[in-house]
Amino acid sequence: MRRFKEFVDQCELKELYMHGRRFTWSNEREQPVMTKIDRVLASVDWKLSYPDFLLQALSTSILDHAPLHLTTPAPFCPKRRFRFELYWTKLDGFDQAVREAWHCDESIVDPFKRMDALLRNTASALQAWGQKKTGNIKLQIAIANYIILRFDHAMEILLLSPEEAWLRRTLKHALLGLASLHRTIKRQQSQLCWIREGDANTKLFQAVANGGRSKNFIPHLRHNGELISDKGRKDQIFTDTYKHLLGRASAREEELDFATS
């Protein structure tokens, strides 16, 4: 056991999250003792190669252990959620973009619906503005590295012209800014407060940032005795359930007039 623990530590193996079950073994008695003794371990490189994995425990059948079933890739179809990027506030034009987006249909008079519409419109506008302002950062980094590599090869056989040297130097400076911006984004996604700004362990960033997606995924749910795995039906059931919990808006008996003193 000591050698096994040393092997796990040396290879930096991490346990994969298992959906739907807390225990994998039972002693099969009338008052059963249950525990989780079956686990799946994987390296960081494996998790980066297969980010859309799904681990589930199957029926114990005639056994006392629950077989584990690992799927790669799992049919994840997550909707793109709005994520406020902290670096947006440092870009030129952020305040103006918020002012222009903060509007909604004047026919909406309910304050809660109006606030919801304002936030939705602003979120949609900020996503478009941020994409237009920064673009695909990974693609820009890859293009800059490729052009710098071509210049590096050219420098081995000839002297660069002043324009070529200027472009190579400019790309290097731009690459520093893009790399810093990329680390800032990944740091926010990873939600690891102890990571320093200069830490360039991108594998750790990616593993933590992507780990929540598989853990939060709901493979199926039971509704009125039926087991449902279709994504469209799951979305509709969640929507109908929350609408039922929230209830319906009723007419107000009294109103506040803020215009009068």
The pLDDT tens digits along the chain (261 residues) read: 899 989 988 888 888 888 878 888 888 888 889 998 889 998 888 887 887 788 888 888 778 888 888 888 765 555 566 777 777 887 788 889 888 888 888 888 888 888 888 888 898 888 888 878 777 788 888 888 898 888 888 888 888 899 988 998 999 888 888 887 777 776 666 555 545 544 445 565 566 666 666 667 777 788 888 888 787 888 888 888 888 887 776 776 777 676 655
Backbone angles phi, psi at 232, to 5 degrees: -65, -40
Residues 65 and 89 in one domain: no
Cα dist from 226 to 21, 38, 244, whole Å: 19, 29, 20
Residues 96 and 131 in one domain: yes
Flag whether 215 is in a domain.
no
Residues 93 and 53 in one domain: no
Contacts of 17 (CB under 8 A, 6+ apart): 55, 211, 214, 215
Flag whether 12 is in a domain.
yes
Q: Which of 135, 152, 171 is the last residue of a domain?
A: 135
Residues 8 and 67 in one domain: yes
Flag whether 253 is in a domain.
no
Q: Which two tokens mark 161?
A: 């012209």
Contacts of 106 (CB under 8 A, 6+ apart): none
Residues 63 and 103 in one domain: no
Q: Which two tokens mark 51?
A: 């980010």
Provide the β-strand partners of residue 54.
71
Residues 64 and 94 in one domain: no
Residues 6 and 66 in one domain: yes
Flag whether 91 is in a domain.
yes
Looking at residue 198, its pLDDT comes to: 45
Provide the β-strand partners of residue 57.
68
Residues 62 and 86 in one domain: no
Cα dist from 164 to 18, 151, 160, 234, 254, whole Å: 54, 8, 6, 56, 72
| Angle formed by the axes of helices 162-190 and 137-155, nearest 10° | 150
Q: Which of 135, 152, 168 is the last residue of a domain?
A: 135
Contact present, 118 and 104 (Cβ < 8 Å): yes
Residues 6 and 67 in one domain: yes
Looking at residue 221, its pLDDT comes to: 80
Provide the β-strand partners of residue 221.
228
Q: Which of 71, 96, 111 is the last residue of a domain?
A: 71
Looking at residue 166, its pLDDT comes to: 92
Flag whether 203 is in a domain.
no
Q: Is 94 left (phi over 0), alpha (psi -120 to 50) or beta?
A: alpha
Q: Which two tokens mark 92?
A: 């030129």
Instruction: Please tell me the total count of domains within the chain.
Output: 2
Residues 63 and 21 in one domain: yes
Residue numbers of the domain that contains 98: 80-135
Residues 105 and 84 in one domain: yes
Cβ atoms within 10 A of the Cβ of 170, count?
11
Residues 67 and 90 in one domain: no
Flag whether 85 is in a domain.
yes
Flag whether 38 is in a domain.
yes
Flag whether 33 is in a domain.
yes
